[in-house]
């Protein structure tokens, strides 16, 4: 079980909703809202968050998820003619850069697949924010002891809310009307978000329209709107003053309507599927009659969104529209698997250090190095075995030729061939007992096994051996020379010129070995 906290960093208030999740279900355990005071935005956000996070019921969450606040996030809808994730990752930065009025290095972006048809292409939702704004937000959250696992798009946030519902082919629009910003997410229940954007406009427009209508200060108009504001039939029940205020509110809604209508048309043109219903949430959705008025203006069935049955036991129904984004953010922290939203601005330098994606990137890099090393080792082994096999075949052919000429039959086994050549009745019995092959074997056996040495060239005859090689140090050359001198046939070992190799970490050397065995000397005197 995990405790996940969704933080909605609104311009009028900050909201926190904590859910307990398990493999089968999730339930709301705590909810709180703190109003932001008047003043500088960053400072009011810091003060409100500090108070919110100080609530005992919201303490010690396992994960925190936030949506980027304010109008700082720009949303683009991109169409690419392919669906392969690797090609999308390789291409998207160029597409985003072409639409930005500033350098891509100054931005942080991510995307979510809105729709995809195999062999036809992909529709992507791309969110872009200036790097400095994200850094400022992260610094503020870290100052308050919050390290969110996910920083997401406020519209794509509603992906998992849609996935909780039964699959439907009819598209619905979730309209989150906040104080200064409205978030729009269009998608299909059981499928996910296909269109998302944020735009300026919301409850503050209604307050301004009311202040203009009654010639009152904005703050006073705002308090009256929260206490008595109503629209449509709910306003008619309040008498002439209520109807007059409702007329002002309708004027205040026009900026939001001017954004919603073309957005619905744009989605319909892209998806070839009309919006069938509007679901309202956000602080402004608490106003009585708002859903009725919007439904009339948009010509679509409109209702206020509430939490799913079973998840809302600890949250009054009147608060549920306000808590909807915080609830969706908490669901985002619970989501996993292929259908989980990809969008997360915590990437690159902002990556969450405990995130699986962050670890996966590092493990992937190490795995690629290991795979490359393994391939090189396999290739080296194959090449080495191939070379050794060819050389062994060459030695076998030479040995066969020698035994064929001397013994009259081909013998490829070295030990058998040597025994036959040493036989009393063998034509070789009159040959000297010490051969070049014996000398090579004796010399190489004398080299200490713990001394790293590579012989580049060995010239052998029955009187002299000339050796060129490479080892780690001059001291090891002395060790090799001393070991060779211990053989009875190696009367004198002279060390030649010693030089450092081109790399500088080894030395090359030359040894001249005088060969004189007792039986050779005797044979020489008898001859």
Euclidean distance between CA atoms 151 and 350, whole angstroms: 10
- Tokens representing 504 are 């500088």
Give the residues across from 122 on adjacent strands.
80, 116
Give one word for 478, left, alpha or beta, with left for phi > 0 and alpha for psi -120 to 50: alpha
Nearest to 477 by CA among 448, 519, 514: 448
Nearest to 9 by CA among 104, 81, 73: 73
Q: What is the DSSP annotation of 325-378?
A: HHHHHHHHHH--STTS----S--GGG--TT-HHHHHHHHHHHHHHHHHHHHHHH
Distance of CA 203 to the CA centre of its chain: 38
Euclidean distance between CA atoms 32 and 155, whole angstroms: 22
Per residue, the 3-state secondary structure of 502-520, as one string, reads CCCCCEEEEEEEEECCHHH
Q: How many CB atoms lie within 10 A of CB 185?
A: 28
Do 158 and 281 touch, CB atoms closer than 8 A? no
Distant-in-sequence, close-in-space partners of 525: CB < 8 Å, separation ≥ 6: none
pLDDT in tens, the chain (527 residues): 689 999 999 989 999 999 988 756 778 889 999 999 988 989 999 999 999 999 999 988 999 999 987 667 888 888 898 888 889 999 999 999 988 888 888 999 999 888 887 767 889 999 999 999 999 999 999 999 999 999 999 999 998 889 888 889 999 999 999 999 999 999 999 989 999 999 999 999 999 999 999 999 999 999 999 999 899 888 776 778 888 999 999 999 999 999 999 999 999 998 899 999 999 999 999 999 999 999 999 999 999 998 887 676 678 888 899 999 999 999 888 876 555 778 899 988 888 876 554 445 556 667 777 888 888 889 888 888 888 888 888 888 888 888 888 877 888 887 787 777 766 445 555 555 667 888 888 888 888 888 888 888 888 888 888 989 999 888 888 888 888 888 888 888 888 888 888 888 888 989 898 888 765 544 444 44
Strands 26-35 and 107-117: unpaired
- 475: enclosing H helix or E strand: helix 474-485
- Tokens representing 142 are 């870290």
Euclidean distance between CA atoms 159 and 175, whole angstroms: 13
Give the residues across from 198 on adjacent strands.
183
Nearest to 2 by CA among 307, 324, 332, 320: 332
| Residue ranges of E strands in 250-333 | 275-281, 302-304
Distance of CA 521 to the CA centre of its chain: 77
Range 478-484 contact pairs with CB under 8 angstroms and sequence separation of 24 or more: 479/448, 479/451, 480/447, 480/448, 480/451, 480/453, 480/511, 481/511, 483/446, 483/447, 483/448, 484/443, 484/446, 484/447, 484/511, 484/513
Euclidean distance between CA atoms 177 and 206, whole angstroms: 11
Question: Would you state the pLDDT for residue 362?
Answer: 54
Give the residues across from 175 on adjacent strands.
184, 280
Nearest to 466 by CA among 514, 419, 503: 514
Euclidean distance between CA atoms 195 and 123, whole angstroms: 9
Q: What are the two backbone dihedrals, phi and then psi, of residue 67, each rounded to the nearest 5 degrees?
A: -105, 145
Do 390 and 382 touch, CB atoms closer than 8 A? no
pTM for this prediction: 0.67
Give one word for 239, left, alpha or beta, with left for phi > 0 and alpha for psi -120 to 50: left
Half-sphere exposure of 63 (CA within 13 A, CB side): 22
- Tokens representing 520 are 């050779």
Euclidean distance between CA atoms 292 and 12, whole angstroms: 24
């Amino acid at each position: 079980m995990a405790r996940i906290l969704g933080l909605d960093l609104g311009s009028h208030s900050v909201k926190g909703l904590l859910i307990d999740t398990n493999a089968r279900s999730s339930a709301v355990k705590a909810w709180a809202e703190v109003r932001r005071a008047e003043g500088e935005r960053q400072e009011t956000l810091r003060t409100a968050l500090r108070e919110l996070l100080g609530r005992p019921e919201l303490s010690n969450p396992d994960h925190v998820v936030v949506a980027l606040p304010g109008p700082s996030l720009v949303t683009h809808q991109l169409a690419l003619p392919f669906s392969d994730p690797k090609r999308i990752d390789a291409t998207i930065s160029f597409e985003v850069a072409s639409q930005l009025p500033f350098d891509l290095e100054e931005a942080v972006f991510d995307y979510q697949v809105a729709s995809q048809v195999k062999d036809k292409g992909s529709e992507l939702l791309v969110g872009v924010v200036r790097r400095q704004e994200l850094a400022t937000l992260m610094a503020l959250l870290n100052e308050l002891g919050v390290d969110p696992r996910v920083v997401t798009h406020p519209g794509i946030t509603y992906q998992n809310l849609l996935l909780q519902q039964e699959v439907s082919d009819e598209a619905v629009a979730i309209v989150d009307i906040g104080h200064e910003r409205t978030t729009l997410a269009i998608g299909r229940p059981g499928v996910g978000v296909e269109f998302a954007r944020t735009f300026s406009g919301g409850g503050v427009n209604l307050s301004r329209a009311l202040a203009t209508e009654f010639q009152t200060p904005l703050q006073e108009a705002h308090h009256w709107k929260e206490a008595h504001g109503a629209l449509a039939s709910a306003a008619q029940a309040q008498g002439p003053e209520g109807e007059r205020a409702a007329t002002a509110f309708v004027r205040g809604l026009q900026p939001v309507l001017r954004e919603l209508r073309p957005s619905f048309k744009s989605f319909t043109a892209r998806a070839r599927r009309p919006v069938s219903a509007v679901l309202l949430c956000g602080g402004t959705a608490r106003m009585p009659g708002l859903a009725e008025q919007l439904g009339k203006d948009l010509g679509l069935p409109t209702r206020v969104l509430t939490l799913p049955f079973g998840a809302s036991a600890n949250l009054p129904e009147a608060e549920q529209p306000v808590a909807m984004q915080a609830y969706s953010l908490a669901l985002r922290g619970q989501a996993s698997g292929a259908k989980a939203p990809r969008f997360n601005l915590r990437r690159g330098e902002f990556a969450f250090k405990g995130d699986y994606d962050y670890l996966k990137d590092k493990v992937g890099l190490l795995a690629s190095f290991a795979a490359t090393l393994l391939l090189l080792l396999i290739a080296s082994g194959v090449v080495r075995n191939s070379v050794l096999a060819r050389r062994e075949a060459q030695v076998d052919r030479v040995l066969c030729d020698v035994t064929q000429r001397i013994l009259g039959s081909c013998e490829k086994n070295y030990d058998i061939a040597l025994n036959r050549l040493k036989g009393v009745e063998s034509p070789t019995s009159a040959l000297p007992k010490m051969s070049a092959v014996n000398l090579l074997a004796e010399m190489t056996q004398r080299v200490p096994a713990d001394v790293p040495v590579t012989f580049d060239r060995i010239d052998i005859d029955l009187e002299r051996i000339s050796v060129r090689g490479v080892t780690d140090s001059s001291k090891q050359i002395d060790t090799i020379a001393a070991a060779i001198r211990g053989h009875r046939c190696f009367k004198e070992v002279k060390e030649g010129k010693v030089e450092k190799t081109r790399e500088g970490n080894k030395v090359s050397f030359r040894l001249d070995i005088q060969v004189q065995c007792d039986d050779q000397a005797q044979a020489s005197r008898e001859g």
